[in-house]
Chains A and B, each alone.
Chain A
Amino acid sequence: MCFTQNFWSFLIGGIANGFLYALIALGYTLVYGVLQLINFAHSEVFMSGGFAGYFVLNAVIGNSHPSGVDSVLLVILGTAAGAVGGATIAYLLERVAYRPLRRRKAPRLAFLISAIGASYFLYNLAGKEFGRNAVSMPAAYTNGTVFTVFGAQVQTYYVVIAIAAMIMLLVLDRIVAATRLGRGIRAVAQDAETASLMGVNIDRVIAQTFILGGILGGAAGFLFGLSSGVVYTMGFTPALKAFTAAVLGGIGNIRGAMLGGLLLGIFENLGVTCAPTEWRDVIAFGILVLVLIIRPTGILGERLGRSA
């Protein structure tokens, strides 16, 4: 079998990718939960997070070579910058591309088209303003092998992603389960009209949901940029895959998005051992089509906004 070769190292790489997919997928799933709409412009939230992190790190690091505690602080700073960037764009998206349509009760088609337009507008504007070549993130830490598992080397980058993502996923899970905002999100996901009759300010909850998704997506953009660099078109493919992950786990289902993200990252990376790397995207997409044909509700079932 092809994927028994270097199984562990591909598995570890897959898990790291999977965490990123999970973070982005949550943005889709949260918005889907409250609006029953796929936020096509989420890829640009991811992209803007990458750029925000890049600019902040560039300004702070300069020509120094940080290590130790500095590295940890820099990664936290970059993630925070990415989160702020992502949240800002997500909020603007909600205000400009979604809310006017919602006020008018526009057909779903209109929302999708408006989001597509916003996505193209944003990433091409980023290309115009920030240049169209890919730039690599300044090194916040020296990448090396932290420890080995079954002969597979676990790099610093993987550890950074895993820790950052796990913290964010846990916090999000708590926010949705135990805070006032989380109750609002769940109430709107369950039945927006009734929620509004019960005194939930739907517009505010929706905006906050976008911001929450934007924080995760933007942070993911920064983490992704740490190894792959930043470019204005960086959002398209990861976002398409994260969407696949959200569908795989059951769109609208928060834990489903986490599970789907991890599974997709692992499947995809192990699949690459059997086919040339260029086919990586085809594998992810094939999974999406298979899921849609066999189990369109995803592994954990959709719309568990009700019970998550």
Chain B
Amino acid sequence: MSAFAATAVSRVRSARQNVEIRRLFACVFGMLVLALMTGPSGSNSAPVSGFTGSLFHPRVLAFLALGVGLWAVITAQHRWGEAIKRTSNNVMTLPRRVMPDRRVRLFVYAAALAIAIILPLHVNAFWQDVLVDQIGIYVLLAIGLNVVVGYAGLLDLGYIAFYAIGAYSTAYWTGALPVHPPMVVNAFWAIPFAIATAMLAGVLIGAPTLRLRGDYLAIVTLGFGEIIQIVATNLQGVTGGAQGVIGIPHPSVNLLHIHYSWLIDPLPYYYLLLAFVVLALIAYSFLEHSRVGRAWTAIREDEVAAESTGINVLKYKILAFAIGASTSGFAGMLESSKISFIEPGDFTVQLSILILVLVIFGGMGSLLGAVLGAAVLQWFPWYLREHPLFGFQDQDLFIYLGAILVIMMIFRPEGMIPSRRRKREIGLAEHGVGTADAMSGSSSEIS
């Protein structure tokens, strides 16, 4: 009997050792990949120089040490942290509220808003531009995509296409395109047109594909993003072709007693953008807790059950898709009228992926996550670029972003600042309850 117990114990121990060896291997492998990512680049004529320069160089020792160190930390945590983890990590209960008091929360929001208002006044012109073109716009885009990916659980890989549609329809209505509109309007009044066009495009693309399994939506939107670029490049007579469109006017308001024009200065755009971001945040936050938001939640958690309780699944999916598209369209309008120049090369599929990374990093379904995720991830590369110490190259950005996506999905699929609901759903799905996304397709799907 005791011999049996001894073998059982030793078997458990060796299983654990196996796991630990495998973990050591994974840590070292990961660090070697990191060494490769951060190492020198190769070139067409010397394709192995990147590998030799980063792997057969003393610096690789530092990465190996890092890998072993990481392994030691994780293993220690697993060995001694198991008991603590077991009692606290019960997915079936909602995690405790972090900020229980409504007043405290409002105060925090007000403080954040105050910082957002004051901060740009104290940075130089370069960073003001970055704040608008790179951070503000992407925060807005991330908030919009969050509705699609986070709330409705749909994967949209061509999100930037709607941004392009917004930009081009602004160019159209302000008379900057080779084809002329029935009436030329100011860029500010092109906002409703840009939003409506993008929304319409969202419905047109969404309606046929949202009936199907979710993967189809992903690939169709991916193709759509590519097609928009091809169309913009090749329909010379309509879109101005590959050279792009110049002379999109800056927005201005001329209404009753308010006369204001936005010019080249980035600050006014920043505040306009901030106003719309705050509006979008309030609107989407209400939406999340409304009948519509609950329908999205129901669809995410169990599509079949949602449909059988009378929720029109297709309608709500299209709604989410259209809301996301219109947000993107608005962002396109704003950016195109700020820079007053657009070209097809501005709307690459890579940008769609970038926005997806922003949403995933912050936390799917979490507005706060989308905002902070976008702000941090967009600010950081610019910081590195400006910082003399790091030789960060623009083209390498997507290596890191791709790695972030994979790592997040493996270790923290709910994002850095998760929505409580979403986190719980993912936990439940891992225990076989619900799906945590709208990927399985509605009942019209043939399986």
Contact = CB atoms under 8 A, between A and B. Distances in A.
Interface in A92-149: 96-97, 100-101, 104-114, 116-122, 124-125, 127-133, 135
Query: Which of A55, A96, A303 has the largest number of chain B CB atoms within 10 A?
Result: A96
A43 B445 CA distance: 27
A113 B356 contact: yes
Given A108-B437, A116-B356, A278-B234, A131 B405 contact: no
B371 interface: no
Nearest to A58: B47
Contact of B409 (A114, A121, A293, A296): A114
Contacts of B410: 100-101, 114
B203 interface: no
B216 interface: yes
A105 B404 contact: no
Nearest to B357: A117
A116 B220 contact: no
B21 interface: no
B216 A296 contact: yes
B219 A104 contact: no
- What's the dominant secondary structure at chain B's contact region? helix
B430 interface: yes
A106 B426 contact: yes
Interface residues of B, number: 66
Query: Which of B43, B51, B397, B398 has the largest number of chain A CB atoms within 10 A?
Result: B398
Nearest to A127: B395
A101 B413 CA distance: 10
B230 interface: yes
Contacts of A117: 357, 401-406, 408-409
A205 interface: no
Interface string B398-421: 110111111011100100000000
Interface stretch (B164-172, B206-214, B311-319, B334-342): B206-214
A203 interface: no
B399 A125 contact: yes
B439 A281 contact: no
Contact of A109 (B41, B45, B51, B214): B214
Given A97-B406, A118-B406, A288-B223, A37 B212 contact: no
A296 B231 contact: no
A276 interface: yes
Contact of A285 (B153, B223, B234, B408): B223
Nearest to B364: A109
A243 interface: yes
5 contacts: A108-B215, A113-B360, A121-B403, A128-B37, A288-B223
Given A106-B430, A113-B155, A237-B226, 19 more contacts: A105-B430, A106-B426, A108-B214, A108-B437, A109-B214, A117-B357, A120-B398, A127-B395, A129-B41, A130-B43, A130-B50, A131-B45, A240-B226, A243-B219, A278-B230, A278-B234, A282-B231, A285-B226, A293-B208
